Chains A and B, each alone.
Chain A
Amino acid sequence: MIASLITTALYAFDPPPVGTAAPDFSLTDAKGETHSPSQYKGKYVVLEWFNPECPFVKKHYGTGNMQKLQEEYTSKGVVWLTIDSNAPGSEGNLSADAAGKVMTGWKTRQTALLLDPEGKAGRAYGAKNTPNMVVINPEGKIVYEGAIDSKATPNPADIPNSTNYVKVALDESLAGKPVTTSTTKPYGCSVKYK
């Protein structure tokens, strides 16, 4: 039992630091269209790691908190890419079909829900949690990465009393100010990589 815990890290991917160029990737969404951060240069891009089974993700979708954010900022011209990096066969991995159903069922408002079964995009960003949030500026530099908000719990009742770091980062960026809190410790379920 103890021995089964001893697993060696095959990959050592740390998140690229804030201020550096956002790594590029190319993934297909639920409709089969291809998206990459580089094609959205000139716009703010939000990356959100996703797992529909994860209680921390459910916290923000079950209350409509995430949908509200997506709607508010996509209407301001921000590109919002939700990414599922969970490996096939593990919890939260979505087929294109299932992804479409989740989007309609949950009334999500992101630009696209991208499928990353190989975990390429997730590893490039060192994304370890769902949710894990990244904000990229129009120059293609990372301006925020970390948690969605300040209360690391799965309890929806905590949302009204927490600071939403993504909202703050986007508001500051859109107002032309530097981001005050640019790195936080993300919280949530682990991404189930291949």
Chain B
Amino acid sequence: MKSAFRLGAYAIVYLSILALAPHGKSQSYQGKELVKAELLADTDAVVLGKPFTIGLLLRMAPGWHTYWKFSGDAGLPTEIHWTLPAGWKAGEIQWPIPLKTNDPGDIQTYGYQDEVLLMQQITPSAKIDNSSVKLSADASWLVCERICIPGSAKLDLDLPIASASSRANQGLFARWRRLLPQNLPETANANWSRAGSDLRLSLTTTALANYPTVGFFPLPPNNTAVGHPTIESRSGNEITFHIPIQSANKSLLSMEGLLVFGQQANGEDRAAWQITNAAIASSTRSAPARGIFTFLFFGFLGGVILNLMPCVLPVISLKIFGFVQHAGQSRQKILRSGIAFAGGIFTWFIALAALLIALKAAGREITWGGLQFTNAYFVLFLSVIVLVFALNLFGVFEISLPQSATRGLLGWTGAQGEAGSFFQGVFATVLATPCTAPFLGTALGFAFTQSPAIILSMFVAIAAGMSAPYLLLCAQPAWLRFLPKPGPWMLHVKQFMGFLLLATLLFLLYVLGAQRGLDGAIWASCFLLFVSIACWMKGAFVVPSASVATRQISVLLLLLLIIGSGIYFIGGKFRSTKISTGSTQLAGDWQAFTPERLQAELEQGHSVFVDFTAAWCLTCKFNEANVLESASVREAFQRHAVVKLKADWTTGDPIITKLLQQFGRPGVPLYVLYRGKSEEPIVFPELLTRSIILDKLETISHTVASQ
């Protein structure tokens, strides 16, 4: 008992000596101490599985300096090699913003005077048997004044292993973290271009006004000899740097580096934005390796699959209904209908492509679904069409004569013969576009970065895919024979189809509600009510049996009804409803996505899963309900301590639009797993399965353990 107590006391004394023991080593030259090196942690103990930060603190004698990741015209960057227990990981060195020094002979170097803390994240394994751990690093550096002396040190840091920890060396870490570069904010725009064999970087940001001094510190790729960046022009919110490239590197289109701001050069208040490879990738994304034909094939396949997507289903049943009708007619007629139907599909896609090319030329940032479902007025327009169509199926009104002059909105899909088939084709495609089917995402993502000709051929490929099954059925009418014979039952089928359309309408109203709130959905519904009344009037009074006067007055009244209620409800009430942000309810452990949030979580060493979704995206809803919210997947997310962020694109948030484009996607869904700051994010397919998610989550299990 007594001896156990004594042992404990020794242990405490020993541990406190350990804690107090100086870990530093110094480099001397001709009796003078040039550099003192020391390892420090931002925590007083290691909690297994919980990442923390270790810094190599270099204190230089006055006048001496060590170097940045890119040392400039002379010098060498400091290197740190770790010896860590098995399963532990050290992140990349977080280099603070360096100072720029100019020496005679136009020698420009980047480094640190007096002191620098080079931080690295250490991720401990989940299990270790010891009660303390020794972390060892071999550090080597070049320290220069007028002369340069290489230095190195083997450094150790002993840390106890505990179940809880508190922060240590707070002041020092805080001071150096303030000097770490930030990500380029969304509000700033950096553009690269070639200037002969050199590079030109243009930065547009309102922040420029606050900083008299702005510089570009390059981080050139290995063995690229780069000259000194100069400021070519600066006015207002725009600054342009010229970066001479001395080695013949023809493929170099951009370069990593820091944009450093300050009240004066090398000021203590200096701040920086980093231009990273990821940011570069988004601005200079070139065609993926896969060939154009592969993508056209994907476009075609995507088009075929579009027929099976949930938002097209009601229309599909209508088309089947159409075929049943046609089955009783002549072969020629069936073929003509099929071709007309395909024509409608092609027309819509080509129109869409033309619009896209025109808008792209106008320099506007647009994406596929963004053109449509992120726009509340487009959703409203579609709601009207769906409702009118449903009422037509219910028999509220009939399109009395195919050759009737009223072949406007109402006549479109109800029209007989080829014209009807044509508009059905158009209509089916309008409904299909927001569902980015598998493959189609890749295909379109590719198309958007391409020339107008390729965009057009891509859309034609999709149209071909979507119309292929119908053309096949019409060319092989024998297959139509398997369809049931027309009869009175058709009326019931027709009416039942009306309910499917009403279900589609409910979905559209749900989208409107997500975009414009409950008020928005209600005002839209009010307008829809008046549209219904107008349709009823058409059915009741604008019929051949009614007198000319009745018909004329009725048409006038129903037009007044539509225009009046449109002005009042849509132009007034609906328009004044606010565009809601964060419209998707964040259920359970999901948190709202912001780029800053993602960055912060990654900085802290967490893995992050981002769900890019929208209220109107049925594929997203399907994935969420069946995969992401399933018990096994939820449990796996929890076990691997993955932070779940939801990026809501319902109203076409431009920040999210930009991110989608970075991943080469024209729309949602998009699922991305970030396993850590330095690892490549994993992009999942658009149709998720539980096993895909679970498999990929397992790949992080060894690096980030549950707490």
Query: Which residues of chain A have a CB within 8 Å of any CB of chain B?
Result: 1-2, 5-15, 17-18, 53-56, 85, 87, 90-92, 119, 122-123, 126-129, 146, 150, 152-155, 182-194
Asked if B227 contacts A5 (CB within 8 A), the reply is: no
Closest chain B CB from A98 CB (angstroms) = 16
- State A175–B408 Cα separation when bound (angstroms): 81
Interface of chain B, helix or strand or loop or mixed? loop
Return 25 A-B CB contacts under 8 Å, by A number: A2-B266, A5-B99, A5-B101, A7-B103, A9-B106, A9-B108, A11-B105, A13-B105, A14-B106, A14-B244, A55-B148, A87-B104, A119-B104, A129-B73, A146-B247, A182-B248, A183-B248, A184-B223, A184-B225, A185-B220, A185-B224, A187-B76, A189-B148, A191-B105, A193-B105
Distance between Cα atoms of A162 and B264 in the complex (Å): 41
Chain B residues with CB below 8 A from A153, complex form: 76
* Chain B 52-87 interface 0/1 with A at a Cβ cutoff of 8 Å (1 = within): 000000000010000000000111100000000000
Please measure, in the bound complex, the distance between the C-alpha atom of A153 and the C-alpha atom of B142, giving whole angstroms. Answer: 9
Are B74 and A154 in contact, CB atoms less than 8 angstroms apart?
no
Closest to A190 in B: B74
In the bound complex, CA of A75 to CA of B142 (Å):
36
Cα A91 to Cα B144 with chains together (Å): 11
* Complex partner residue of B76 from A7, A119, A152, CB under 8 angstroms: A152
Closest to B264 in A: A6
B109 near A8: Cβ-Cβ < 8 Å: no
| B595 interfacial by beta-carbon distance below 8 Å | no
Instruction: State whether A189 and B144 are in contact (beta carbons under 8 Å apart), knowing that A55-B150, A122-B105 are contacts in the complex.
Output: yes
Min CB distance A165 to B, Å, is 10
Name the B residues within 8 Å of A15 (CB-CB): 246
Q: Is A192 a contact partner of B146 (Cβ separation < 8 A)?
A: yes
Task: Report chain B residues within 8 Å CB of A191.
Answer: 105, 107
Q: Which one of B102, B148, B228 has the highest number of Cβ atoms from chain A below 10 Å of its Cβ?
A: B148
A87 CB contacts on chain B under 8 angstroms: 104
Contact A2 B73 (CB under 8 A): no
Contact of B244 with A188 in the complex, beta carbons under 8 Å: no
Neighbour of A185 across the interface among B104, B142, B225, B268, CB < 8 A: B225
Contact across chains for A154 and B247 when beta carbons are under 8 A apart: no
Contacts of B75 in A (CB 8 A): 189-190
**Quick check: A119 and B101 within 8 Å, CB to CB?**
no
Question: Of the candidates A85, A146, A154, A188, which one forms a contact with B225 in the assembled complex, judged by CB atoms under 8 Å apart?
Answer: A146
Are A128 and B146 in contact (CB-based, < 8 A)? no
Q: Are A14 and B74 closer than 8 Å at their CB atoms?
A: no
* Most chain B CB inside 10 Å of its own CB: which residue of A15, A126, A194: A126
Question: B74 contacts which of A6, A12, A13, A189 (Cβ < 8 Å)?
Answer: A189
Q: Which residue of A lies closest to B77 (CB)?
A: A152
> Do B105 and A55 touch across chains, with their CB atoms under 8 A apart?
no
Q: A11-B105, A56-B148 are in contact. List 20 more A-B contacts (CB 8 A).
A: A2-B266, A2-B267, A5-B99, A7-B102, A9-B102, A9-B108, A11-B106, A14-B227, A14-B244, A85-B105, A126-B106, A128-B107, A153-B76, A185-B226, A188-B74, A190-B74, A190-B107, A191-B105, A192-B103, A193-B103
B73 touches A14 (CB 8 A): no
Q: Give the shortest distance, in Å, between A51 (CB) and chain B (any CB).
A: 9
- Using Cβ atoms and an 8 Å threshold, which residues of chain B touch A55? 142, 148-150
CB-defined contacts of B76 to chain A, threshold 8 Å: 152-154, 187
| B102 in complex: contacting residue of A8, A154, A155, CB < 8 Å | A8
Q: Which residues from 136 to 169 on chain B have a C-beta closer than 8 Å to any C-beta of chain A?
A: 142, 144, 146-150
Contact status A154-B104, CB under 8 Å: no
Cβ-neighbour of B106 out of A5, A6, A13 (below 8 A): A13
Task: Give per-residue flags for B227-238: 1 if the beta carbon is below 8 A from chain A beta carbons, else 0.
Answer: 110000000000
- Cβ 8 A contact of A119, one of B99, B105, B148: B105
Chain A nearest CB, measured from B574 CB (Å): 59
Q: B residues within 8 A CB of A6?
A: 264-266
Chain A residues in 8 Å Cβ range of B109 = 190
Closest partner residue, chain B, to A59 (CB atom): B150
Interface residues of B in 214-270 (CB under 8 A from A): 220, 223-228, 244, 246-248, 264-268
In the bound complex, CA of A182 to CA of B142 (Å): 27
The chain B residue sitting closest to A53, CB to CB, is B147
**Is A2's CB under 8 angstroms from B113's CB?**
yes
Q: Which 5 A-B pairs have the closest CB atoms?
A: A193-B105, A190-B74, A193-B104, A183-B247, A91-B147
B: number of interface residues (CB 8 Å): 41
Contacts of A123 in B (CB 8 A): 105-106
Q: Which residue of B lies closest to A193 (CB)?
A: B105
Contacts of A2 in B (CB 8 A): 99, 113, 266-268
A8 to B109, CA, bound (A): 13
Measured CB to CB, the closest approach of chain A to B264, in angstroms, equals 8
Which residues on A sit within 8 Å (CB–CB) of B226? 185
Residue in contact with A17 in the complex, picked from B74, B102, B224, B246, CB distance below 8 Å: B246
**Which residues on the A side are within 8 Å of B101 (C-beta)?**
5, 7
Please indicate the chain A residues that have their CB under 8 angstroms from the CB of B102 in the complex. Answer: 7-9
Identify the closest chain A residue to B147 (Cβ).
Answer: A91
Q: How far is the CB of A67 from chain B (nearest CB, A)?
A: 22
The reply to whether A190 and B73 form a contact with Cβ atoms under 8 Å apart is yes
Inter-chain CA distance A1–B268, complex, in Å, is: 11
Task: For the complex, give the distance between the alpha carbons of A6 and B270 in Å.
Answer: 14
The interface residues of chain B lying within 8 Å CB-to-CB of A8 are 102
Say yes or no for B114: interface residue by CB 8 A criterion: yes
Residues in B neighbouring A12, C-beta threshold 8 A: 106, 228
In the complex, what residues of B have CB within 8 A of residue A183's CB?
225, 246-248
CA distance A3 to B75 in the complex (A): 21
Cα A146 to Cα B249 in complex, Å, equals 14
Interface-centre pick from A6, A123, A187, A190 (highest chain B CB count, 10 A): A190
Residue in A85, A91, A127 whose CB lies within 8 Å of B146: A91
Residues of B within 8 A of A17 (CB): 246
Q: Are A154 and B142 in contact (CB under 8 A)?
A: yes
Minimum distance in angstroms from B45 CB to a CB of chain A: 36
- Bound-state CA distance A14–B147 (Å) is 22
Residues of B within 8 A of A186 (CB): 225
Kindly identify which residue among A7, A154, A194 contacts B150, using a CB–CB cutoff of 8 Å: A154
Residue of A nearest to B246 (CB): A183
Select from chain B the residue with minimum beta-carbon distance to A187.
B76
Contacts of B108 in A (CB 8 A): 9
Name, among B99, B114, B248, the residue most crowded by chain A CB atoms within 10 Å (CB to CB): B248
Shortest beta-carbon distance, A131 to chain B, in Å? 11
A182 to B225 Cα, complex, angstroms: 11
Please tell me if the beta carbons of B144 and A1 are within 8 angstroms of each other in the complex: no
- Min C-beta distance of A48 to chain B, whole Å: 16
Q: Kindly name the residue among A10, A184, A185 whose own CB sees the greatest number of chain B CB atoms within 10 A.
A: A185
Cα of A187 to Cα of B74 in the assembled complex, Å: 6
A52–B248 CA distance with the chains assembled, in angstroms: 31
Q: How far is the CB of A180 from chain B (nearest CB, A)?
A: 11
The chain B residue sitting closest to A11, CB to CB, is B106
Once bound together, how far apart are the Cα atoms of A90 and B107, in whole Å? 15
Question: Which B residues touch A129, using CB under 8 A?
Answer: 73-74
Q: Judge whether A190 and B105 touch: CB under 8 Å.
A: yes
What residues of B have a CB within 8 angstroms of the CB of A85 in the complex?
105
Instruction: Please state if A193 and B146 are interface contacts (CB–CB under 8 Å).
Output: no
Complex CA distance for A8 and B108, rounded to whole angstroms: 10
Q: Are B104 and A10 in contact (CB under 8 A)?
A: yes
Give Cα distance in the complex from A1 to B63, angstroms. Answer: 8
For residue B105, which residue of chain A has the nearest CB?
A: A193
Q: Which residues of B contact A91 (CB under 8 A)?
A: 146-147
Would you give the shortest CB distance from B471 to chain A, in whole angstroms?
Answer: 56
- Least CB distance from A55 to B in Å reads 5
How far is the CB of B279 from the nearest CB of chain A, in Å?
A: 24
Chain A: which residue is nearest B63 at the CB level?
A: A4
